[in-house]
Amino acid sequence: MSDRQKEMAMGKEPQFTPADYEYATLMHLLGVSVSKHLLDEHFTLVWANEYYYEFTGWTKEEYESTFHNRPDLYYKDDPKEWQELTNAVLDALSKGQKSYKLLSRFRRKNNDFIWIQFSAQFADEYIDGYQVAYTVLTNVNDVIRMQKEQSVTYESLPGFIAKYRVERDLGLTLLEANSRFMEYFDEGAGSGHILHQRNIEDNLTVLMENRDRLLSGEPVQFVMNVKSRQGKTLWLQVNASCVSWQDGCPIYLAIFIDITDVTELREIQRKLTEQADALKDALTVAEHANRAKSEFLSRMSHEIRTPMNAIIGMTTIAAAYIEDRQRVADCLEKIGYSSKHLMTLINDILDMSKIDEGKMKIAHELFDLETVMESVTSIIYPQAAAKGLTFTVPLVDLTGTTFIGDPLRLNQILLNLLSNSLKFTPAGGSIRLEVRQIQKKKGRIRLRFTVSDTGIGMSREFMDRLFAPFEQESAETGQKFGGTGLGMAITKNLVTLMGGIISVRSQEGQGSTFTVELDFDLPGEELGQPPRQPALGSFRIMIADEDRDSCIHASLLLKNLGIRSDWVLTGEECVEKVHAAHETGEDFDVCLIGWKMPDIDGIEATRRIREWVGPEATIIIMTAYDWSSIEKDARAAGVNAFLSKPVFASTLYNALLSATGAHKAVLTSTQSAGLKRPELAGRRVLLVEDNELNREIALELLKMTDVAADCAKNGREALELFLANGLDYDLILMDVQMPVMDGYEATRAIRKSGHPKAGSIPIIAMTADAFREDVARASESGMDGHLAKPIDPALLYKTLAEKIIG
């Protein structure tokens, strides 16, 4: 290392000659980057003016500490450019030249590349035996960019492009042209562009007509008849504009468009216009989709992390207060809510993915609308009550409840719409789900599901893109209310796949109304109507509810059962009519009274009725809410029974039978089934699960109902255990995705094993593969059922009971 280099490495300022300072001062005044280098293997920087460092983007201190004044280190990430620079220097020195110039790319601190012109002069000065070179850097990035853009433009524009200098005698000198022009009209090196010149001479007349305009530099347009190199005659539309002047002569840039076949040209122009419009639309859609997806990913990060934070945080708190039973119970409840929310997010994303890939299948199976509505209302009613919302579910003109279709997707559609209403309706508002039969003929029925709310509503602009994936009204809406922006897109696609229609009406600040119409097939014979009992035919029933449609619907159901009824909309009217009937000796046998009414509630109405009629009449409270909180007061007031809304024929019939003692009621809901299943005690199952945590959870769930279990960690172990102990097992719970041998392979192997119970032992898939095709694949492999993870304990016990006991 030279003394000069040592001084620089130690952070000392090198000693400059007076000539150095004069040169630096001059370059400073000119505002030009100038630097002095040794012609050693590093091209070591001796000194540079301030513009050199501005050029690189590094301060002098940063440059020296990072690169130690060694340009070869500066270029370490650009070996190609460094080699070009080295070759230029060495080539000039080998030829005895005093200078060199080089056009090259140059990386700045921010990693942007710019084009620069190196202008270097070799001095007769030596430092430590190395010759010195002075270098000026000039930013020519704009020039190079313009040249490139011009080149691209020349080659991209339709037709032939050429640049001419127009001489005073109207001679045209070709300066440059695009490749298409040269291919058609250039006859090669040494030809002197004879063909090109002949085409000019053949069109001299039209050029003379435009002489004055051409010589004055004005734009011109005219038509020429020319010949190509292959002898083809062309008619060209010429559009030329003056772009500069040279020695007093105008320089024209001319575009020649082939109009030989005008029809073809028009067709091309039309297609180009269509393509341009299509590309523009596609670009707009793509940009919008990219923005929406970026916002979606950002929201998903927030949405997923929020329940995860709750799960992790509540787990930590529960561990810290493990002895505080109430605190732990509270934490577990919140963990449960958060887990279900996280599951909803995951299901939305997976559903949208399957819809996009065209893999979503719609089922065609027998179902009872009553079961679907019970499932929906059991989820929505508690949430509405907790938020202080009124939720009603009127059923209008339904003549039956047993249909053929996809109950799972219907449930999903209704929950998506109702969840939105819950989310965007403030406390004190109302939500209404109306189910109306609008058509029935030729073995098919059409139902209209209307979800309306008094929420915040939507703008007209947002409604136009409501059903697009990843969309939300605004970023603020997404942050405030959460959600994936996929719910409405999924709902629209499901409705379409089911052959239905969906529409929306909304106004900002005044709520929204979604209407879905779906067709369902009817079974071969009418199901769902309970058999009529003569004992009920003589009943006379009073109906009181604030919802007119609910009253009409209940009255229609009673009429179909052969029962006379009357209805009113308030508690006061109910009491008055019951009193009046009692006075005339025509008492009502049963009163169906809504719990919540605008004047007095159902309990107060019951108390007043009992004062007039005593214990003779049967009083049933109709409510959409959990009646456990009011049961004590209601019983004390004289209520005999409770009936859940919405009211269906079967539940109404059973409630009347049970409350009046006419017959023993038939249980129609799963409410009677608890988690405890004593009939399972002592049973033994084979649990096949590779995940240790999932295995522990399943074992505990089985233990809670006194079911014993052996465990296998993969399909191979499961097969071996079954062959050895199969007679001891009542059922196999089989995971699907496992190492060594998966659940499908293991099931097929068990079924083919020849073991005495190989064909009869129930095998239930217990897996996170939860789509309909996964259920079908499990069945094809020989399994008898499918439980999706996360496992619902009640469903697990119900399945075990059905498969083991029958």
Q: Give the tens place of pLDDT for each residue, 606-633.
A: 999 998 888 888 899 988 766 777 888 8
Domain ranges of the chain: 3-143, 157-260, 265-356, 365-521, 534-672, 678-804
pTM for the whole thing?
0.44
* Residue in the block written with tokens 């379409």: 496
Residue-level pLDDT at 653: 80
Helices assigned H by DSSP within 71-140: 71-74, 79-94
Phi-psi category of 740—alpha, beta or left, where left has phi over 0 and alpha has psi -120 to 50? left
d(C-alpha 571, C-alpha 554), whole Å? 17
Q: What is the CATH number of domain 265-356?
A: 1.10.287.130
d(C-alpha 591, C-alpha 621), whole Å? 8
Residue-level pLDDT at 436: 92
Strands 564-568 and 540-544: parallel
Q: Could you tell me what percentage of the chain is helix, strand and coil, using 3-state DSSP and rounding each to the nearest 5?
A: 45, 25, 30
Residue-level pLDDT at 735: 92
Helix (H, G, I), strand (E, B) or coil at 554: helix
**DSSP letters for 617-659:** SEEEEEESS-GGGTHHHHHHHT--EEEESSP-HHHHHHHHHHH
CATH 3.40.50.2300 fits 534-672, yes or no: yes
Residue-level pLDDT at 563: 85
Torsion of CA 746, 748, 751, 754, to 10 degrees: -80
For residue 391, list its beta bridge partners.
Answer: 431
Q: Please check whether residue 799 is in contact with residue 787, taking contact to mean a CB–CB distance below 8 angstroms.
A: yes
d(C-alpha 804, C-alpha 731), whole Å? 7
Sequence-distant (6+) residues with CB within 8 A of 580 are: none
Q: How close are the terminal C-alpha atoms of the chain, in Å?
A: 93
Domains 157-260 and 365-521 share a fold: no
Summarised one tens digit per residue, pLDDT across range 186-218 is 755 444 556 767 788 888 888 888 888 888 889
Sequence-distant (6+) residues with CB within 8 A of 664 are: 657, 658
d(C-alpha 454, C-alpha 283), whole Å? 38
CA angle, 664 as apex, 662 and 666 as ends, to 5°?
125
Q: Which CATH number fits domain 365-521: 3.30.565.10, 1.10.10.10, 3.90.1170.50, 2.50.20.10?
A: 3.30.565.10
Q: What is the CATH number of domain 157-260?
A: 3.30.450.20
Fold of 678-804: Rossmann fold (3.40.50)
Residue-level pLDDT at 318: 82
CA angle, 127 as apex, 124 and 129 as ends, to 5°?
90
d(C-alpha 108, C-alpha 161), whole Å? 36
Q: Which residues of the chain have pLDDT under 70?
A: 1-31, 147-158, 187-194, 196, 261-270, 286, 288-307, 309-310, 337-338, 340-341, 344-345, 347-361, 468-486, 525-537, 625-626, 660-676, 769-772, 806
d(C-alpha 106, C-alpha 103), whole Å? 10
Residue-level pLDDT at 704: 86
d(C-alpha 586, C-alpha 71), whole Å? 110
CATH 3.30.450.20 fits 3-143, yes or no: yes
Of 395, 367, 370, the C-alpha closest to 650 is: 370
Residue-level pLDDT at 529: 45
